[in-house]
Amino acid sequence: MRPTAKGLCIAATTAILAAASVVTYVAAQSAEPKEKVIKITAKRFDYTPGNLTLKKGEPVILEFTTLDVLMGFNLPDFNLRADIVPDKVTRVRLVPDKTGTFTFLCDIFCGARHEEMNGRITVVD
Ligand SMILES: [Cu+2]
């Protein structure tokens, strides 16, 4: 059976609509970018990485794990704290609303050099 002109026209229209919906879908995806995830590994007595640089106003998810014992994450300048529990992933959302360099520290006693366990977050414009 030969394709009719009407049949070809319907096929072409369908193809164009399908292409248009793909473009719309991609545009919607990029309008809501996924929040950046930064993995931080804690172990006695440090955080890796221990120095982060973030952009003001840009939300990030800090994703903590501990290689040994229960640890804390405390970032007083942003009123953030969390327990970092062995065999668990701890996620903390941070939207830096000010620039500067801020210290975070372990606030759960984890051993001899616990007091020295800290890191820095630098927030830039
Ligand atoms: Cu500690």
| CA–CA distance, 34 with 29 (Å, rounded to integer) | 9
pLDDT value for 10? 56
Q: Distance, CA 68 to ligand 1 centroid (Å)?
A: 11
The closest alpha carbon to 41, from 104, 89, 107, 96, belongs to: 89
Amino acid at 20: A
State the first-to-last Cα distance of the chain, in angstroms, to the nearest integer.
Answer: 66
Q: Distance, CA 47 to ligand 1 centroid (Å)?
A: 10
pLDDT value for 11? 57
Q: Distance, CA 93 to ligand 1 centroid (Å)?
A: 21
Q: Are 47 and 54 in contact (CB under 8 A)?
A: no
Per-residue pLDDT of the chain (125 residues), as tens digits, is 555 666 555 555 555 455 555 444 444 455 556 899 999 999 999 999 999 999 999 999 999 999 999 999 999 999 999 999 999 999 999 999 999 999 999 999 999 999 999 999 999 99
pTM above 0.85, yes or no: no
Q: Distance, CA 80 to ligand 1 centroid (Å)?
A: 16
Q: Distance, CA 71 to ligand 1 centroid (Å)?
A: 5
Q: Distance, CA 44 to ligand 1 centroid (Å)?
A: 7
Strand locations in the chain, DSSP E?
Answer: 36-43, 46-48, 51-55, 60-66, 71-75, 80-84, 90-94, 100-105, 118-124
Structural tokens at position 102: 């801020």
pLDDT value for 34? 85
